[in-house]
């Protein structure tokens, strides 16, 4: 089932293809988990389909090979093994492959995902390919944070924005592709990122979210074990647990942190030494959680960082 929220982008790409105006380089700027990579492969099917008049037909051998990532004229670049970066050697290999004649005599397509994981050497190497593209080639760069890419690359790409779907659209697509489940609850935990949700077990997400909520309430009340929780979270599903942590903090902030009190009381609590999680502390913790989640691939001690944040949640004793 095609994602309904991508219909506009698909129509634009199909119109460009039919008019013979496909760009050499396409930057797909996606909201995380919204389907930017899916759109990249759909575009590859559009260009490589054996039936151009109704491409992508989804039925021919070429469309099937693209769907299985096995088409000889489809190239993919992603961080290899445990690396978090796309490296210069990979980009050079891609450039060499794109310069060769297509096996099927048509287009050659390269998909870089996530393109914003290229290091600066790889980005510089890619720039030459963008400046001197081979005929009938397309480079599709999928990125959630295009600002990480050099301006010289951004200026040579046609940008296509992929926004997050509505909650209803995401839940409907997940039901159609994965089957019935409490997808609304899953999306409440993960955000409106259906392509991330589709790779996970909904029951596991719901259970983890419930466990996290209980532990966080205990930690905020002073009865939890910061060291034990931090060690366990760092070892098991840290990205999912940090997302749950972020959601819990956001919820606390929205309801006033200390309850349903007046704004004046919340402002006062931000400067007081009273027990409890103040609004200022909640915002500071939220920043810390987001920073840690964005650096999970870095060589840091997650357990130590988590424990430091969890100890800041404990109620303070009034002096």
Residue 47 included in any domain: yes
113 and 262 inside one domain = no
Residue 135 included in any domain: yes
77 and 140 inside one domain = yes
142 and 12 inside one domain = yes
Structural domains of the chain, count = 2
Residues in CB range of 166: below 8 A, 6 or more apart: 5, 192
Q: What is the pLDDT of residue 316?
A: 61
Q: Which residue range(s) make up the domain with 285?
A: 201-311
15 and 140 inside one domain = yes
- Per-residue three-class SS string for the chain: CCCHHHHHHHHHHHHHHHCCCCCCEEEEEECCCCCHHHHHHHHHHHHHCCCHHHCCCCCCHHHHHHHCCCCCCEEEECCCCCCCCECHHHHHHHHHHHCCCCCCCCCEEEEECCHHHECHHHHHHHHHHHHCCCCCEEEEEEECCHHHCCHHHHCCCEEEEECCCCHHHHHHHHHHHHCCCCHHHHHHHHCCCHHHHCCCCHHHHHHHHHHHHHHHHHHHHCCCCHHHHHHHHHHCCHHHHHHHHHHHHHHHHHCCCCCCCCHHHHHHHCCCCCCCCCHHHHHHHHHHHHHHHHCCCCCCCHHHHHHHHHHCCCCCCCC
Q: Please say which residue of 135, 163, 191 terminates a domain.
A: 163
75 and 144 inside one domain = yes
Residue 175 included in any domain: no
63 and 133 inside one domain = yes
158 and 274 inside one domain = no
207 and 80 inside one domain = no
Query: Which pLDDT tens digit goes with each residue over 63-103?
Result: 999 999 999 999 999 998 777 789 999 999 999 999 999 98
14 and 147 inside one domain = yes
28 and 133 inside one domain = yes
CATH (domain of 142): 3.40.50.300
pTM of the full predicted structure? 0.80
158 and 273 inside one domain = no
Residue 269 included in any domain: yes
Residue 190 included in any domain: no
31 and 145 inside one domain = yes
What pLDDT tens digit does each residue of the chain (319 aa) get? Answer: 899 999 999 999 999 999 999 999 999 999 989 999 999 999 999 999 999 999 999 999 999 999 999 999 999 999 987 777 899 999 999 999 999 999 888 999 999 999 999 999 999 999 999 999 999 999 999 999 899 999 999 999 999 999 999 999 999 999 999 999 999 989 988 888 999 999 999 998 989 999 999 999 999 888 889 999 999 999 888 988 998 998 888 888 877 754 544 343 434 443 433 345 778 888 889 888 888 887 777 777 889 999 999 998 877 644 4
Residue 176 included in any domain: no
Q: Please say which residue of 163, 186, 217 terminates a domain.
A: 163
Residue 189 included in any domain: no
Residue 179 included in any domain: no
Is cis: bond before 56, omega within 30 of 0?
A: yes
Q: Please say which residue of 104, 137, 163 terminates a domain.
A: 163
Q: What is the pLDDT of residue 120?
A: 92
């Amino acid at each position: 089932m095609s994602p309904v929220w991508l219909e506009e982008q698909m129509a634009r790409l199909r119109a460009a293809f039919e008019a013979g105006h496909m760009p050499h380089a396409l930057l797909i700027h996606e909201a995380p988990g919204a389907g930017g990579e899916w759109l990249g492969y759909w575009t590859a099917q559009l260009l490589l389909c054996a039936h151009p008049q109704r491409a992508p037909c989804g039925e021919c051998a070429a469309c099937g090979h693209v769907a299985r990532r096995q088409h000889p004229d489809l190239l993919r670049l992603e961080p290899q093994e445990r690396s978090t970066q796309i490296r210069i050697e990979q980009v050079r290999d891609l450039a060499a492959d794109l310069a060769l004649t297509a096996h099927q005599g048509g287009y050659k397509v390269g998909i870089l995902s996530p393109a914003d994981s290229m290091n600066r050497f790889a980005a510089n190497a890619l720039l030459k390919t963008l400046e001197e593209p081979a005929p009938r080639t397309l480079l599709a760069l999928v990125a959630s944070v295009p600002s990480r890419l050099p301006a010289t690359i951004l200026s040579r790409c046609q940008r296509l924005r992929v926004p997050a779907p509505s909650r209803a659209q995401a839940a409907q697509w997940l039901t159609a592709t994965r089957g019935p489940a409490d997808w609304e609850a899953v999306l409440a935990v993960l955000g409106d990122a259906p392509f991330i949700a589709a790779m996970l077990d909904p029951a596991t997400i719901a259970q983890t979210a419930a466990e996290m909520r209980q532990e966080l309430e205990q930690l905020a009340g002073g009865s939890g074990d910061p060291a034990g929780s931090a060690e366990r979270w760092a070892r098991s599903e840290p990205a999912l647990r940090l997302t749950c942590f972020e959601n819990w903090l956001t919820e606390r902030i929205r309801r006033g942190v200390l309850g349903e009190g007046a704004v004046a009381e919340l402002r006062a609590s931000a400067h007081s030494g009273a027990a409890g999680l103040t609004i200022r502390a909640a915002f500071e913790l939220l920043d810390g959680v987001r920073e840690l989640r964005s650096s999970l691939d870095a060589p840091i001690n997650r357990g130590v960082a988590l424990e430091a944040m969890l100890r800041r949640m404990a109620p303070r004793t009034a002096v």
